[in-house]
Amino acid sequence: MDTVKLTIDERTVEVKKGTSVLEAAEQAGIYIPHLCFVHGLKPYVGCRLCAVEIEGARGLELSCAEPVRDGMIVRTNTPKVLETRRNLLEVIISEHPWKCLTCWRRERCNPLWHCQRDAKVTDRCVMCPRNRDCELQRVVDFVNMRQDDQPFYAVPKTQPIRWKNPFLQYDPNKCILCTRCVRVCAERRHVGALELSHRGYRATISTAFGEELDCEFCGACAEVCPTGAIMEKSRRYTGVPDVSVPTVCGHCGVGCGLQIDVKNGKIIGVTAPESHAVNGNDLCVRGKFGFGYIQSESRLKTPLVKGQPAVNGTAVPVSWEEAIGQVADRLYDIREHHGPDAIAFVGSSRLTNEEGYLLQKLARGLVGTNNVDQAASMFHRGTLDGLGARLGVGAMTNSLADLEKAGCIVVVGNNTANTHPIAALKIKNAVKNHGAKLIVAHPLRTDLDRFATLSLHYKPGSEVALLKGLAAGLLSARGADLEQTAGYADLRASLQGSDAAAVATQTGVASEALQQASKILSEAAGETSPAKAQAGEEKPLPLRPSKPIVLVYGSGLSYAETPADVAAAVANLAVLLDAAGAQVGVAALAADANLQGSCDMGMLPDYLPGRVAIQDDAARARIAHAWLGAQGQLPSKRGLGFREMLEAARNGKLKAMVVVGDDPVTSIPDTAYVSECLTDLPLLVVIDVTATPTAQLADVVLPGVSFAEKAGTFTSTERRVQKLRPAIDPIGDARPEWWVLGQLGKRLAARLGGAAKVQLEYEGPKAIMDEIGALVPTYAGISYDRLEEGGLQWPCPSATSQGTADVLDQANTRLVAVQHESSTAPAASDYPFLLVTEKTLFSDLREPPINGRNLLQVERTDFAELNPVDAVVLGIQSGDRVRVVSPAGSVVARAVWSDRVEQGQVLVPSGVRSEVNGLLKRNGAFVRASRVTVRIEKAIELPVER
- Smallest distance from ligand SF4 to CB 918, Å: 28
47 binds, among ligand FES, ligand SF4, none (CB under 5 to 8 A by kind): ligand FES
DSSP code for 610: T
- Smallest distance from ligand FES to CB 22, Å: 7
**Is residue 893 within the footprint of ligand FES (CB under 6 A)?**
no
Q: What's the CA angle centered on 660, arms 655 and 662, to 5 degrees?
A: 100
Residue sitting closest to ligand SF4 (CB): 287
Residue from 14, 16, 42, 45 in contact with ligand FES (CB under 6 A):
45
Q: How would you write 628-670 as a 3-class SS string?
A: HCCCCCCCCCCCCCHHHHHHHHHCCCCCEEEEECCCHHHHCCC
- Smallest distance from ligand SF4 to CB 5, Å: 34
Q: For ligand FES, which is the closer residue by CB, 24 or 64?
A: 64
**Is residue 101 within the footprint of ligand SF4 (CB under 6 A)?**
yes
Residue range at the interface with ligand SF4 (CB under 6 A); choices 189-197, 479-487, 681-689, 826-834: 189-197
**Is residue 46 within the footprint of ligand FES (CB under 6 A)?**
yes
- Smallest distance from ligand SF4 to CB 207, Å: 8
Rounded to whole angstroms, the Cα distance separating 295 from 205 reads 33
Q: For ligand FES, which is the closer residue by CB, 94 or 516?
A: 94
186 contacts: CB under 8 Å, gap ≥ 6: 192, 194
229 binds, among ligand FES, ligand SF4, none (CB under 5 to 8 A by kind): ligand SF4
Q: Which long-range contacts (CB under 8 A, 24 or more apart) does 48-57 make?
A: 48/84, 48/88, 49/85, 49/88, 49/89, 49/92, 49/139, 50/22, 51/81, 51/84, 51/85, 51/88, 52/21, 52/76, 52/81, 53/78, 53/80, 53/81, 54/21
- Helix axis angle, 563-579 relative to 511-524, nearest 10°? 50
Residue from 8, 13, 25, 36 in contact with ligand FES (CB under 6 A):
36
Interface pattern 361-400 for ligand SF4 (x via CB under 6 A)? ----------------------------------------
Rounded to whole angstroms, the Cα distance separating 416 from 551 reads 12
193 binds, among ligand SF4, ligand FES, none (CB under 5 to 8 A by kind): ligand SF4
605 upstream amide cis, omega within 30 of 0 = no
Interface pattern 230-249 for ligand SF4 (x via CB under 6 A)? x------------------x
Residue from 6, 15, 62, 521 in contact with ligand FES (CB under 6 A):
62
**Is residue 619 within the footprint of ligand FES (CB under 6 A)?**
no
Rounded to whole angstroms, the Cα distance separating 235 from 263 reads 10
- Smallest distance from ligand FES to CB 91, Å: 13
Rounded to whole angstroms, the Cα distance separating 919 from 774 reads 47
183, 167 contact by CB (below 8 A): no
**Is residue 217 within the footprint of ligand SF4 (CB under 6 A)?**
yes
Residue from 225, 300, 366, 683 in contact with ligand SF4 (CB under 6 A):
225
270, 727 contact by CB (below 8 A): no
Residue from 25, 68, 89, 254 in contact with ligand SF4 (CB under 6 A):
254
Rounded to whole angstroms, the Cα distance separating 83 from 188 reads 34
**Is residue 49 within the footprint of ligand SF4 (CB under 6 A)?**
no
Residue from 4, 15, 19, 37 in contact with ligand FES (CB under 6 A):
37
**Is residue 38 within the footprint of ligand FES (CB under 6 A)?**
no
Q: For ligand FES, which is the closer residue by CB, 47 or 477?
A: 47
**Is residue 48 within the footprint of ligand FES (CB under 6 A)?**
yes
- H-state helical runs in 110-185: 135-143, 180-183
Coil, strand or helix at 493: helix
How many residues contact ligand FES, by CB under 6 A? 12
477 binds, among ligand FES, ligand SF4, none (CB under 5 to 8 A by kind): none
Coil, strand or helix at 503: helix
**Partners of 532 in the β-ladder:** none
Residue range at the interface with ligand SF4 (CB under 6 A); choices 214-222, 407-415, 502-510, 907-915: 214-222
574, 583 contact by CB (below 8 A): no
Residue from 6, 13, 15, 136 in contact with ligand SF4 (CB under 6 A):
136
Rounded to whole angstroms, the Cα distance separating 719 from 734 reads 30
Residue from 52, 54, 64, 495 in contact with ligand FES (CB under 6 A):
64
Chain centre distance of CA 466? 27
- Smallest distance from ligand SF4 to CB 718, Å: 11
Residue range at the interface with ligand FES (CB under 6 A); choices 46-54, 472-480, 523-531, 626-634: 46-54
**Is residue 287 within the footprint of ligand SF4 (CB under 6 A)?**
yes
Backbone angles phi, psi at 207, to 5 degrees: -75, 150
**Is residue 846 within the footprint of ligand SF4 (CB under 6 A)?**
no
Residue range at the interface with ligand FES (CB under 6 A); choices 33-41, 206-214, 219-227, 802-810: 33-41
- Helix axis angle, 737-752 relative to 353-361, nearest 10°? 10
Interface pattern 146-185 for ligand SF4 (x via CB under 6 A)? ----------------------------xxxxxxxx--xx
Residue from 34, 85, 189, 928 in contact with ligand SF4 (CB under 6 A):
189
Rounded to whole angstroms, the Cα distance separating 763 from 711 reads 12
Residue 265 burial (10 A CB sphere; 0-12, 13-18, 19+)? exposed
Closest by Cα among 619, 603, 685 to 360: 603
Torsion angle of the four alpha carbons 439, 442, 447, 453, in this order, in degrees rounded to the nearest 10: 20
Rounded to whole angstroms, the Cα distance separating 299 from 833 reads 41
Residue range at the interface with ligand SF4 (CB under 6 A); choices 320-328, 414-422, 730-738, 759-767: 414-422
- Smallest distance from ligand FES to CB 163, Å: 29
Q: Which residues bind ligand SF4 (CB under 6 A)?
A: 96-97, 100-101, 125, 128, 130-131, 134, 136-137, 174-181, 184-185, 189, 191, 193-194, 205, 215-221, 225-230, 249, 251-252, 254-256, 279, 283-284, 286-287, 420-422
Q: Which residues bind ligand FES (CB under 6 A)?
A: 34-37, 45-50, 62, 64
